Amino acid sequence: MKALSQKRRHPLAAIALLLMGLLLTGGLYAVATTVNEAKASTAEFTASDTQEGQKLFEANCATCHGMGASGTQDGPSLVGVGAAAVDFQVGTGRMPMQMNGPQAYKKPAQFNDTQTHQLAAYVASLGAGPAIPADEYLDEKGNAAEGGELFRVNCAMCHNAAAAGGALTRGKFAPALADVTGKHIYEAMATGPQNMPVFNDSNISPEGKRDIITFLKQIEANGSPGGADLGALGPVSEGLFVWIAGLGVIIAFTIWLTSRTS
């Protein structure tokens, strides 16, 4: 008992207890989150969806992602990525990829909506992950002002303040967000494709994602009030254009004057 009492008074005892408490709390939170995601990811799918999705996966995706979606050297494991990741990647035509490269390009989808739904069902059955968003978050009736603030804080450094896209490192890029459906915008935030970080509900709430979608659709509908937007790349490109065009006019005018005097 005396030895135990001395260990309790050890200087590191408080730190050890704190670490144990943090680990326990984090573990319980992870379990609770996983259970909720599992329910959300599988509730909208039937057993038939999952079976048909498995057939499609084995015929079209297993070459890169492996049987059971466990991953290979050519493609990552899809266990736990959730239905939203599949719906985004397949629905935008990024998957299957045409060729290996630094980034998957958007292209016409290879699978129709029903097949995409079935593929999502199969992958969702393999492990909990982000679910396809509910329609209530895709109605584009959120707060555009709040969405604009969230977008500028979290997204503009890559996608540009006007959502025109931008270059990243090693041949990668953040795509422009015009003509992208609200569902795919939401799914991209929830799953973090390519170099994009994951914005889960703890980072940006579903209501916040709805506001961002509303903001993006509003600026897409309004267009550029000043005429030519020059790619919406900001004052640097606009100033450079004015400088080059203005300098060209001055040179042309100078040549014209000198030719007249001679």
* Binding-site residue set for heme c: 61, 64-65, 155, 158-159
DSSP letter for 75, please.
Answer: B
How far apart (Å, rounded) are the C-alpha atoms in residues 139 and 26? Answer: 34
Binding residues: 61, 64-65, 155, 158-159
Answer for the pair 137, 206: CB distance below 8 angstroms, yes or no: yes
At 150, list the tokens.
């969230």
At 151, list the tokens.
């977008």
Q: Dihedral angle at the C-alpha atoms of 79, 83, 86, 88, nearest 10 degrees?
A: -140
At 91, list the tokens.
């629905």
Nearest-5° Cα angle at 88, 70 to 219: 155
Answer for the pair 196, 174: CB distance below 8 angstroms, yes or no: yes
Closest residue by Cα to residue 204 from 214, 193, 217, 189: 189
At 197, list the tokens.
């970080």
Residue in the structure block whose two tokens are 């969405």: 147
How far apart (Å, rounded) are the C-alpha atoms in residues 9 and 4? Answer: 9
Q: Chain centroid to CA 100: how far?
A: 20
DSSP letter for 20, please.
Answer: H
How far apart (Å, rounded) are the C-alpha atoms in residues 240 and 218? Answer: 28
